[in-house]
A and B are shown apart, each in its own frame.
Chain A
Amino acid sequence: ETGVTQTPRHLVMGMTNKKSLKCEQHLGHNAMYWYKQSAKKPLELMFVYSLEERVENNSVPSRFSPECPNSSHLFLHLHTLQPEDSALYLCASSQLLQGGYGGYTFGSGTRLTVV
């Protein structure tokens, strides 16, 4: 148990579907992140939420829509995805200004397959 829980663990969706990924942390952290891990690529930062406000959006297509209703929960809403969006989506949390110093805690990820 890492303290950061992601659901579902696996998801297969069609290109016209709408689905959501969920992340929950019980560590009292106040920053949350979405990362994407594609095959043979670095972990790519997608979104950063600090104190429930989005502070970074790394040119992510609008078919990915994050939501952070409170400091413990983070969602990634998906719609009209493409097969190339198939990847492992990782959620992480940290204390503000501590994440870059080893303070990240990652969830186990959601393996997404778009068919």
Chain B
Amino acid sequence: DQQVKQNSPSLSVQEGRISILNCDYTNSMFDYFLWYKKYPAEGPTFLISISSIKDKNEDGRFTVFLNKSAKHLSLHIVPSQPGDSAVYFCAASGAGGSQGNLIFGKGTKLSVKP
């Protein structure tokens, strides 16, 4: 059973608008959440993270929000740019002492149209 779920396989957004990518998790032992970005023919690269003791972390155009009670996090990109078009993976760690191991979602493919 999936512990990290990204229920939207794809998202299309106009350049300059906000992109919101969602992620749900089931394991309450997760204490750190991350977003990775993947371009075709490349490996995933770390984008932004948030600790479970926070509910928001911002880095430039990227903001991650965490709602622990709902076991939900989201990544906001504003304004969206065509170069943001990629697959975004949500990941979580910290369960059961395996803090070094990441559990990933299926990914959401973001397309930003000029």
Interface, chain A (partner B; CB < 8 A): 2, 4, 6, 9, 31, 33, 35, 40-45, 48, 50, 56, 90, 92, 94, 96-109
Interface, chain B (partner A; CB < 8 A): 2, 4, 9, 32, 34, 36, 41-46, 49, 89, 91, 93-94, 98-107
Question: With contacts defined as CB atoms under 8 Å apart, how many contacts are there between chain A and chain B in the complex?
Answer: 79
A100–B43 touching, CB < 8 Å: no
Kindly name the residue among A35, A43, A100 whose own CB sees the greatest number of chain B CB atoms within 10 A.
Answer: A100
Select from chain B the residue with minimum beta-carbon distance to A107: B43
A15 CA to B49 CA, complexed, in Å: 40
Once A40-B106, A106-B44 are accepted as A-B contacts, the answer to whether A99 and B100 lie under 8 Å apart by CB is: yes
A45–B106 touching, CB < 8 Å: no
A73 CA to B14 CA, complexed, in Å: 43
Q: 14 new A-B pairs (CB below 8 Å) besides A56-B98, A106-B44, A108-B43?
A: A40-B106, A41-B106, A43-B104, A48-B101, A98-B100, A100-B32, A100-B98, A100-B102, A101-B99, A102-B34, A104-B36, A105-B43, A106-B36, A109-B43
